[in-house]
Amino acid sequence: MTGYLERKAYYAEAPVALIIGCGGLGTSIARALGRRHPLLICDLDGERLDRTIETLRMDGYVAAGYRCDITDPKQTHALGDTLALGAGVRVLAHVAAVGMSIRDWRKMMAVDLSGVHLIAEAAGPHMVRGGVAIFISSLASYLPAIDPRLEALLGDPLKPTFLDELVKVLGEEPNFDDTYSHAKLGVNLLAEKLAIQWGPKEVRALSLSPGMIDSPMARAEGPTLPSHDGTNARVSRGDKAREIPLGRQGTLVEITNVVDFLASDQASFLNGIDIPVDGGHRAVWRSRRVIQR
């Protein structure tokens, strides 16, 4: 009697979709991209990563996990070494981020901006022709006032004096809301820079800025949000959602659908821009002069 032989599917050895972060949105994006690409998913939480990979494999996805602290240059360099052993990266979807629940603005900046640069450095040499990097940003990236000094600084967060110089430019240590906004502005700027650097290799780079989304991370950050009315007041998420022309929060699936499109060849001439997915919230902010961008 012939024994059962498990063969590796041909598509298992294709360039991967590299997903950074396996929280709610990261896992949703992995499920979408995994229909066309083998998956390599990175996360700091080893137990959560193992559960995610096991579930995806049971559902028939080709998926592997890699535990990585994206703020540690040694670990991201090792990730790059691992990528060099494979067929390359067709899609980089960088989702990992933290909010004010981390309770340390410096750590927040390290994860939400410096870590994004480290991952881009690790993955960049292994992006294949036709590839794309999609960096999940935030509508909050539009909140900082236009300031060339600030933008130049946010474009180089790996310099040793970055945090001290940021405090000097801002005039004080930023609060958590401002830290998040500045970090996400830096993510948008990184996408612009990489679009120029990687374009000759026919590799695209984009950022995507979700507005108010009902997600595990959003729920963990609490029931209130900044009012953005020139004061330090905070309002309920329900009141904030009423600002949105569509009158509601978005969903993880609505963000995932846009990522899936951007990662496909249907979006092959989209490069170097930020795409707000916000139900029209940015338009309201612009009409009220809350933002300059």
- Alpha helices in 59-202, H assignment, sequence order: 73-84, 105-109, 115-123, 148-154, 162-170, 176-198
Phi, psi values for residue 133, rounded to 5°? -110, 130
Tokens 């290799």 belong to residue: 201
Residue 290 placed within a domain: no
Q: What is the pLDDT of residue 18?
A: 98
Residue 3 placed within a domain: no
Q: What is the pLDDT of residue 256?
A: 98
Say which CATH number the domain at 94 has. 3.40.50.720
pLDDT per residue over 26-71, tens digit each? 999 999 999 999 999 999 999 999 999 999 999 999 999 999 999 9
Q: What is the pLDDT of residue 1?
A: 43
pTM (two decimals): 0.95
**Tokens at 199, concatenated:** 């374009």
Cα 141 to Cα 70: distance, rounded to the nearest angstrom: 21
pLDDT per residue over 165-213, tens digit each? 999 999 999 999 999 999 999 999 999 999 999 999 999 999 999 999 9
Cα 117 to Cα 124: distance, rounded to the nearest angstrom: 10
- Cβ–Cβ under 8 Å, residues 269 and 132: no
- Cβ–Cβ under 8 Å, residues 184 and 208: no
The structural domain count of the chain equals 1
Residue 214 placed within a domain: yes
Report helix angle 115-123 to 73-84, nearest 10.
Answer: 20
Residue 1 placed within a domain: no
Tokens 């990261």 belong to residue: 26
pLDDT per residue over 204-252, tens digit each? 999 999 999 998 888 877 788 888 877 788 899 998 999 999 999 999 9
pLDDT average, residue stretch 273-288:
97
- Could you tell me the residue range of the domain that residue 160 belongs to? 10-285
192 alpha-carbon distance from chain centroid: 14
Residue 92 placed within a domain: yes
Residue 2 placed within a domain: no
Cα 46 to Cα 93: distance, rounded to the nearest angstrom: 19
How wide is the angle at C-alpha 103 spanned by C-alphas 100 and 104, nearest 5°?
105
- What's the helix, strand, coil split of the chain in %, to 5? 50, 15, 35
Cα 44 to Cα 177: distance, rounded to the nearest angstrom: 23
- Cβ–Cβ under 8 Å, residues 136 and 65: no
Looking at per-residue pLDDT, the higher value among 87 and 12 belongs to: 87
